[in-house]
Amino acid sequence: MIVDCHTHINCPSSEIDTAEHFDACGKVDAGIVLAVGRGNGLEASRELSGYVNKHPKLVGFASLNPHRDPVGVDDVKAVTVDLGLKGIVLYCSCGKFHPADSRAMRLYESAAQLKLPLFFHNVSTYNSDSVLQYAQPFLLDEIAGRFPALKIVIGAMGLPFPDQTICMLSKHENVYADLSISPQKKWEVYNIVVGAHEADVMDKLLFGSGYPIAKPDNCIETLLGFNMMLGDTNLPGVPREEIRGVIERDTLALLGITLP
């Protein structure tokens, strides 16, 4: 089963946006859709819910900011479970909040009670008005330690801090990372995959495209051709079955998510 665990639509979005998104997801068996909300969490969640609930192969994650949205268990349930959404995505650096501050920890407590996985999104850290410090995967150590049963996904290998991400994958049983890559950045892809292989955490990597940054079929092609990039060099490779294992991993089962 191929699950793209990292795709986006804007909330609100046009019919063209959703049609293009669903077409891109045609290459995979299931896809997780992360809301990118400009308003409050409830508005974005309703918009996302209306889209994913039309397509049984799609799973929606609500976008919540603990400094903007209510964090009590009933409030979180209203913008996730009650709308058919299966998880929560947090944009800490873009939202300018420390991932382990007091209000955020209350949100995670609610998520743990509701058995909702968390996705920490990092790519937006390159925006000039974001707080890069809050993107560091090491900051999730306290969260994973306090809520050991909570499923946590570090987006895009925690770039620009992939080494911190690999340490987190080694330390915490329920911390995963999505291997959403930029197919054109071959040296970056190489170093991340080899680093994960040498740390023996390939089983903690989940396939993701980061759509619309990249499309899943292009990412799959790049990963399957990984060792071909090495050519006649003496650089270390990664067993093809380990790479295929990332692509074919049942991410939904790992995160405790069932499709309708």
Domains of the chain plus CATH, in order, are 3-254 (3.20.20.140)
pTM above 0.85, yes or no: yes
Q: What is the pLDDT of residue 42?
A: 81
Q: What is the pLDDT of residue 206?
A: 98
Are 71 and 98 spatial neighbours (Cβ–Cβ below 8 Å)? no
Q: What is the pLDDT of residue 37?
A: 60
pLDDT in tens, the chain (260 residues): 999 999 998 777 777 788 999 999 998 999 999 988 666 778 888 889 999 999 999 999 999 999 999 999 999 999 999 999 999 999 999 889 999 999 999 999 999 999 999 999 986 556 788 899 999 999 999 999 999 999 999 999 999 999 999 999 999 999 999 998 777 788 888 899 999 999 999 999 999 999 988 999 999 998 988 888 777 788 888 999 999 999 999 999 999 999 87
